[in-house]
Structure 1
């Protein structure tokens, strides 16, 4: 087929001839290839320099035009597929500060900071402890008020360590009314937490362990306090006779030492929802002189009872207490007891809805003397060799 002359309109139809390229076809082909190469080079230069609107999104590694940092090549610094070397991963998360704790006004990280914060505390302050071990015996002595309590908070990883079980209190609330002590771990003192002359305090969510005598003690006219949701264990490491878990009031033999020779009227205290195990003496000891408190919904295990007076989970020597909804397992003798140590005390206490798996030689309920004390028939007693009680249920 002959070439079509320049300037003539193309032929129509399926047999129309192809347009004729003027000049040498080899020159045209060479020039076109050169033009394509130049265009490709320009595009490549623009892409490498980060220009243009079509760059890959940030973070796509190994691609020209990525705006984020480029990651190491696979296998760099080690065998193929090995993770890159560098600092260790994040440390374990700190233990959580209790949700009931407001935002900190003071945050402490060592024993000296804590001592200073306790000394300077004013109503409305919130002292928060970072995780760590705080060695020493700590005292709070500034009273707050009902509408502006003082908070002392930390997670279980914030540990107050008293340095030994022979003497001293790990934490002493000395006249520190309306404090809120939440979440901490207390260990390694003669007593864990001692409250003297304290009103309206909340002691909640603590772990109290490795203690010489009692775990938590309210005394010296400490009234209207709440001890709730704590774990108390491993007490009596100094003398097993004094290894109670929670202790309310003062024995008559110590009234002249502690309460000016008067009955220690530590009244209307609430002991609720605590777990008390591995104590050498009673789980809860309620002393003569106390009135109108409650011990409710706690769990006890007396398998480690060994002290000379450790023969029940709860021993009530005060008046008008409500003992309700508790669960006890394993006792050296009885489940629940009352006693009249001082004339007129140890009377009119009510026991309701408790569960006693005694696994011991005594009663579920042993009232000596009865003195108006009452055990309702909704209490459940098992594995007590002498049966439900020394009196019938009411």
Structure 2
């Protein structure tokens, strides 16, 4: 593996020294010093796994164009910092795959990591695209994820404050349509005993923004599970063309968590299976509440609503559908609850 080292000179930021030269004033703010940047060039699968295994804060790992076959894993505890994240980057022609869609796991697997940035490359031809467990404060930017047996990217096992943005996801669920979500946040209550010792899978405050969900996503474009809180879904392009309907997948987006902000998204291509544009569900008592939908544009072209909010005992559980949403082609209307001005 070819490694070149580039040092970045840093200085403490803050107030000037006292006039007598004895030290800094009380107002001095000491900023964290970024780690030196190491430029790590990789061109083979073994070099890529080595770069992930031995990564240090500040590393910039650059993939040469080509196909990297394997289940590439970031070991638990291998972290960057807020000041010096670890970056894995490449062009669309740098392709990660397992080359098996029917078994195995993800082409890229985080196992308990923070402050990584993944930029530019392609993930394809695998059972799962990217799996994120026990990991927080990571960025997934400008990625292409496609031709996947199950879900495209999955934030699971208490993964929080992650951001997926500016990416493209299509052709997921090609082997198991019922597990073919483009982006999956959290775990279903039926899986809590397996993944979280029976506790809610608190994958909180994750963001999905400015991402294009393309054709042939078999399940929901984005599935937000019970037990998760406070995420943001904004500026995405959602697509129902190719939706399969397995496991009740009949909307672009299904919200079972609490306190999500869903705004500025555009939904198109209803497809024969689409029923509603956006849905909420109460899979577990106390969940599916206090979500807001604003400034979304929905060309539903289906029999249901633009926003179908599951109610309980006549109450919408704090969910709000604002008048700023624009809905066309929804035979049942904009929403089944009172619109908030």
For this structure pair, what is the TM-score category when the shorter chain's length is used for normalisation?
A: 0.7 to 0.9
User: Are positions 1:246 and 2:188 aligned together?
Assistant: no
CA–CA distance in structure 1, aligned partners of residues 218 and 226 of structure 2: 21
1:220-259 counterparts in 2 under 5 A? 220-259=157-196
Q: Secondary structure at the match of 2:96?
A: strand
Cα pair 1:360 1:384 within 8 Å, conserved: yes
Q: Secondary structure at the match of 2:254?
A: strand
- Larger CA Rg, structure 1 vs 2: 1
1:40-55 counterparts in 2 under 5 A? none
Structure 2 residue aligned with 1:183, among 96, 101, 120? 120
User: Are positions 1:154 and 2:60 aligned together?
Assistant: no
Cα pair 1:188 1:210 within 8 Å, conserved: yes
User: Are positions 1:279 and 2:213 aligned together?
Assistant: no
Structure 1 residue aligned with 2:250, among 311, 314, 322? 311
What is the Cα deviation at residue 214 of structure 1? Answer: 0.6
RMSD: 1.2
Of Structure 1 and Structure 2, the greater strand share is in: 2
CA–CA distance in structure 2, aligned partners of residues 262 and 310 of structure 1: 25
CA–CA distance in structure 1, aligned partners of residues 297 and 98 of structure 2: 35
Structure 1 residue aligned with 2:66, among 112, 117, 132? 132
CA–CA distance in structure 2, aligned partners of residues 235 and 286 of structure 1: 17
What is the Cα deviation at residue 126 of structure 1? Answer: 1.0
The alignment's TM-score, normalised by the length of structure 2, stands at 0.84
In the alignment, which residue of structure 1 is the partner of 2:9? none
In the alignment, which residue of structure 2 is the partner of 1:338? 280
In the alignment, which residue of structure 2 is the partner of 1:326? 265
Q: Secondary structure at the match of 1:105?
A: strand
The alignment's TM-score, normalised by the length of structure 1, stands at 0.73
In the alignment, which residue of structure 2 is the partner of 1:217? 154
Structure 2 residue aligned with 1:353, among 292, 295, 298? 295
What is the Cα deviation at residue 103 of structure 1? Answer: 7.5
What is the Cα deviation at residue 123 of structure 1? Answer: 1.2
Q: Secondary structure at the match of 1:388?
A: strand
Write the deviation string for residues 32-67 of structure 1: whole angstroms up to 9, x where unpaired: xxxxxxxxxxxxxxxxxxxxxxxxxxxxxxxxxxxx
In the alignment, which residue of structure 1 is the partner of 2:15? none
In the alignment, which residue of structure 2 is the partner of 1:115? 49
CA–CA distance in structure 2, aligned partners of residues 103 and 178 of structure 1: 14
Number of aligned positions between the proteins: 293
Cα pair 1:330 1:360 within 8 Å, conserved: no
Q: Give runs of ≥4 in structure 1 deviating > 6 Å.
A: none
1:15-164 counterparts in 2 under 5 A? 105-141=39-75, 142-164=78-100
Cα pair 1:242 1:307 within 8 Å, conserved: no
What is the Cα deviation at residue 104 of structure 1? Answer: 6.0
Cα pair 2:38 2:58 within 8 Å, conserved: no
Cα pair 2:37 2:58 within 8 Å, conserved: no
Cα pair 1:104 1:128 within 8 Å, conserved: no
Q: Secondary structure at the match of 1:334?
A: coil
Q: Which runs of 5+ in 1 are unaligned?
A: 1-101
